[in-house]
Amino acid sequence: MRRAALAPVVATVAAAALLAGGAVYTVERAGCDDPGHYVRNGDSVELVGGCLEPGDLPVGPAPAAVDSRTDNGAQVRP
């Protein structure tokens, strides 16, 4: 294989390794006592425990109310 063809592959692998290392470093530095675990609950899987509480997550704006004169947000013509 030529060097010119090998350079993008090496650069991609190096970038992936740096990003993976950064992710591992970030998780290790989080300092969470209970990282949580997944529990199968019927057909779904639920995260139990963890470092986040529901109040830690930002709440977006409430969705706009749909006017009773409209059909799915589109204006109904008489």
**3-state DSSP assignment of residue 36:** coil
How does pLDDT run across 35-47, given as a tens digit for each residue?
A: 788 999 899 998 8
Percent of the chain with pLDDT over 90: 31
Does 66 map to a domain? Answer: no
Please tell me the distance from the alpha carbon of residue 7 to that of residue 77, in angstroms, as a whole number.
61
Is residue 64 in some structural domain? no
60: in domain: no
- What is the distance between the alpha carbons of residues 38 and 62, in angstroms, rounded to a whole number? 30
Q: Tally the domains of the chain.
A: 1
Q: Is residue 77 part of a domain?
A: no
Q: What is the mean pLDDT of residues 41-63?
A: 84
Q: Is residue 72 in some structural domain?
A: no
- Note the pLDDT of residue 57: 81
In a domain, 62, yes or no: no
Q: Domain range holding 39?
A: 1-53
Question: Considering the domain boundaries, does residue 47 fall inside one?
Answer: yes
pLDDT band for position 5 (50/70/90)? confident
d(CA 39, CA 49): 10
- For 60-72, write each residue's pLDDT tens digit: 888 877 666 555 5
| pTM for this entry | 0.45
Question: In whole angstroms, what is the distance from residue 35 CA to residue 49 CA?
Answer: 7
